[in-house]
Amino acid sequence: MTDTTKNAFGTRITAEDIVETLEFFDSWEDRYKYIIDLGKELPAMDADKKNDAHIVRGCQSQVWIDAQLVDGRYWFEADSDAFIVKGLLGVVLAAYNGKAAADIQSFDIEAYFDTIGLLKHLSLTRGNGLRAMVERIKATTAPA
């Protein structure tokens, strides 16, 4: 991942944008469609990065996350084999992409998920997978 500008999450699509947009929809069916559409905004991950080094354990679907530190900010590349999960990755990356490690560690992701009502509308296994994605990012950016 050399071009951080190709990923809109954290730059052109922020956590605040997602909260505002989801509040606009009345039904969770429409919210799910929006989340799936977010996943379509994720740039494709190179096939050679879809390996054991980048896989996120604990997800129902296959999920890969790679991180690059550029000028003190983390940029994430992520992918999944499931459309809804790609969208959930977009929701997570909107909160974390382009941020310094301290900002990632201090961001209240649970409050963010609560604000959009996400976890109560996901199956237990999807919710666990979402938390596994967050844990992977936090572990990657944790101080040594």
Q: Which residues are catalytic?
A: 59
d(CA 135, CA 7) in angstroms, rounded, equals 21
Query: What is the chain's alpha carbon radius of gyration, rounded to the nearest angstrom?
Result: 14
Residues constituting the chain: 144
Residues 6+ apart with CB under 8 A from 87: 34, 35, 36, 37, 38, 39
Across the strands, what pairs with 99?
74
